[in-house]
Amino acid sequence: MDGILTGTTAEAAAETWIRGFQAALDARDPGAIAALFAAECHWRDILAFTWSLRTASGAGPIAERLAGSLAAMRPRGLALASGRTPPRRVSRAGVEAIEAILAFETEVGPCSGVVRLVSEAGEPRAWTLMTVLEEIRGHEDPANGARWQNVDWKRNFGGENWLDRRRKAAAYADRDPAVLVVGAAQAGLSVAARLSMLGVDTLVVDKDARIGESWRKRYHALTLHNETRVNHLPYMPFPKSFPVFIPKDMLANWFELYAEAMELNVWTGTELTGGSWDEAAGCWEVTLRRPNGFERRMRPRHIVMANGTSTTPLMPDLPGLKDFRGAVRHSSAVGSGRDWAGQRALVLGTGTSGHDVAQDLAVSGAAEVTLIQRRPTLVVSLKEAQAPYALYDEEIPFEDKDLLAVSFPFPVYRAAHQRMTRMNEHADRELLEGLKAKGFRLTSGPDGTGWQIMYQQRGGGYYFDAGCSQLIIEGKVGLIQYDDIARFGPEGAYMKDGSVKAADLIVLATGYEGQAASARRLFGDAVGDRVGQVWGWNEEGELHGMWRPTGQPGLWFHAGGLAQCRIFSKVLALQIKARELGLVS
């Protein structure tokens, strides 16, 4: 790459490239397609050409994959997107480029794209391209058009009103849903809202008695660590009166309100106890246990596992722990720090939950609090942790922010986070040096890629400092290394040097089992083997099994933070709708 294009406007450069790209697509000429891409180039497709989430790198592989889809998809009408952020000069991952939002049509429906152009031999060449299906033609999301007109009900004095119809829809007395969603938090509710707006009959079940209870049950001091401006759910943004960081109970209450306002069919106190796939019928046979003990059998065509990456606590069998005379709690069940005032606590794990629990205990009057570090941990200040969301500070429409957020193919995304992590560490150097002086082992993540890559690879291993790091530096929260512990015993942790770290409470901030384990437990080993890994990067830099077909027909996975759930709930809903319409086998 020679750098950013000069001697032309951003709009003119984008239009020149678009004309050439449309001509190459029309000619179905892989060579002409490849010639429009830079030496280093990447293409991410989200349903527009491949009906999946795929990433290709290199002009040859990109051209080959694109050319292979042209006969079926027939892309046409490629142009700068009207009414969206105009082409502009930007810096992404340290590269100066012209960024433009595109619009085009395929046989399936309207699509969008984002291209970033750099100069090679004075000509605009694509460094990155992302393409995404927006809607299925003829089955558009009504939220994108005029408000729905309830003319039929306007004067239906002798018949059913809205409440009658809602009760009947949610009862499922005379039918089974097309889609069963397991879990009624941000993942389950977001995909149910998307599916419902597309006319797909969807039931959400949650084993807890209230929507949002999985959040309410978490430790007392829990508050979101990313800002409200990023975390809106589909169709219903948070009120402007909400705080910058939302407390767990406030979020849980919002989920209840959201489900009611979006007219979602939710059965609380209902547990999916198991199921099997009927190959001949192309549907699931599942059993649901209702609050009264009654069991309901259903045959949905799709199951969406939206039970989260933080659902079933991992309780490791640590040497000697069963002999401990005090209380042992997982971090999800420790409750308020006030409940342990005057007690001595050991907290195993130095991720977000471990730090937050330790801080809550320390400031709530615990006699002594000590963190046990098992492995190096990435620590970043709360301010610097917002860096990945800088895009949401740009003065552009929110829908464009979401589009740009998913437009980075993994190699570029990775490079951007390496750069960001170096900047974070420089800004936080005083904090990090203070922790090192206390013996805290730090990491920058795999190859220095930072906390978001760690989250999407293993679901944890980092901490946004909300105050606990300073308590460690000041000695108000102690620190020992797990490798220095010989075993646990009646009094607490028995150290290799012969001393005993006495405790009344041991908190296991040891994480949760993944969704793949949940699916295996519910549906058996054969299904579990077909599904394989869920979460973590695959060879193309997409997440294994997430928001895309798995090896098991009719089984989908949806998880992540609120922003991920907002964006990718649409991606998942479009794939299910396409299968309901017979567009995809």
Q: CATH no. for residue 92?
A: 3.10.450.50
* Under 8 Å between Cβ of 558 and 569: yes
Tell me the pTM: 0.93
E strand intervals along 476-532: 478-481, 485-489, 492-495, 500-502, 505-508
The answer to whether 554 and 283 are in contact (CB under 8 A) is: yes
Cβ neighbours, 10 Å, residue 524? 14
Q: Are the C-beta atoms of residues 299 and 311 closer than 8 Å to each other?
A: no
Residue count (the chain): 585
d(CA 238, CA 240): 6
Residue span of the structural domain in which 244 resides? 169-311+513-580
Asked whether residue 221 carries a pLDDT value surpassing 90, the answer given is no
Q: What CA–CA distance (Å, rounded) separates 475 from 187?
A: 39
Say whether both 351 and 241 belong to one domain.
Answer: no
Query: What is the average pLDDT across 216-220?
Result: 85
DSSP state of 223: B
Please tell me the predicted confidence (pLDDT) of residue 2. 63
* Cα separation, 237 vs 155, whole angstroms: 32
Residue 222 has pLDDT above 90, yes or no: no
Domain edge (last residue) among 113, 133, 153: 133
- Indicate if the pLDDT at residue 146 is higher than 70: no
Q: Are 211 and 255 in contact (CB under 8 A)?
A: yes
Across the range 101-121, mean pLDDT stands at 97
Same domain for 270 and 362, yes or no, is: no
Asked whether the predicted pLDDT for residue 152 surpasses 60, the reply is: no
Which of 80, 82, 67 is closest to 19 using CA atoms? Answer: 80
Q: In the listed set 452, 473, 508, which residue is the last one of a domain according to the structure?
A: 508
Q: How many angstroms separate the CA atoms of 50 and 474, rounded?
A: 54
What CATH number has the domain bearing residue 454? Answer: 3.50.50.60
Distance from C-alpha of 221 to C-alpha of 176, rounded to nearest angstrom: 40
Could you give phi then psi for residue 229, rounded to 5 degrees?
-60, -20
Instruction: Read off the pLDDT of each residue in 176-199 and give the average, rounded to a whole number.
Output: 98
User: Is residue 344 a part of any domain in this protein?
Assistant: yes
Q: What is the CA radius of gyration of the chain?
A: 26
Residue 278 and residue 402 share a domain: no
Calpha distance 531→339 (Å, rounded): 42
Tokens for 486, please give them: 């010989």
Residue bearing the bigger pLDDT, 217 or 300:
300
User: Does the residue 2 lie in any domain?
Assistant: no
Same domain, residue pair 334 and 359? yes
Same domain, 525 and 538: yes
Average pLDDT for the chain: 94
Q: 429 and 460: one domain?
A: yes
- Domains of the chain: total: 3
Q: Are residues 81 and 227 in the same domain?
A: no
Asked whether the predicted pLDDT for residue 151 surpasses 60, the reply is no
Whether residue 78 is predicted with pLDDT greater than 70 in this model: the reply is yes
Task: Determine the Cα–Cα distance for residues 370 and 221; give it in Å rounded to an integer.
Answer: 18
pLDDT in tens, 501-510: 999 999 999 9
Instruction: Tell me the pLDDT tens digit for each residue of 35-52.
Output: 999 999 999 999 999 999
Question: Ramachandran region of residue 46, left (φ > 0), alpha (ψ -120 to 50) or beta?
Answer: beta
Same domain, 470 and 328: yes
pLDDT at position 142 over 60: yes
pLDDT average, residue stretch 199-215 = 96
Residue 410's H or E segment, with its range, is helix 410-427
Same domain, 347 and 452: yes
On the question of pLDDT at 349 being above 70, the answer is yes
Q: Where residue 160 falls among pLDDT bands split at 50, 70, 90?
A: confident
Tell me the pLDDT band of 3, cut-offs 50, 70 and 90: low
Helix (H, G, I), strand (E, B) or coil at 481: strand
pLDDT tens, residue by residue, 246-289: 999 999 999 999 999 999 999 999 999 999 999 999 999 999 99
Whether residue 487 sits in one domain with residue 350: yes
pLDDT, one tens digit per residue, over 522-545 is 999 999 999 999 998 999 999 999
Element holding 266 (H helix, E strand): strand 265-268
In this prediction, residue 121 has a pLDDT band, given cuts at 50, 70 and 90, of: confident
Pair (420, 449) in one structural domain: yes
Integer angstrom CA distances of residue 374 from 109, 334, 349, 479, 509: 50, 20, 6, 11, 11
Res. 148 pLDDT band, cuts 50 70 90 = low
For residue 125, what pLDDT band results from cuts at 50, 70 and 90? very high
Tell whether 488 is covered by a domain: yes
- Residue 5 falls inside a structural domain: no
Asked if the structure places residue 150 within a domain, the reply is no
Residues 276 and 294 in one domain: yes
Q: Which of 62, 77, 129 is nearest to 100 (CA)?
A: 129
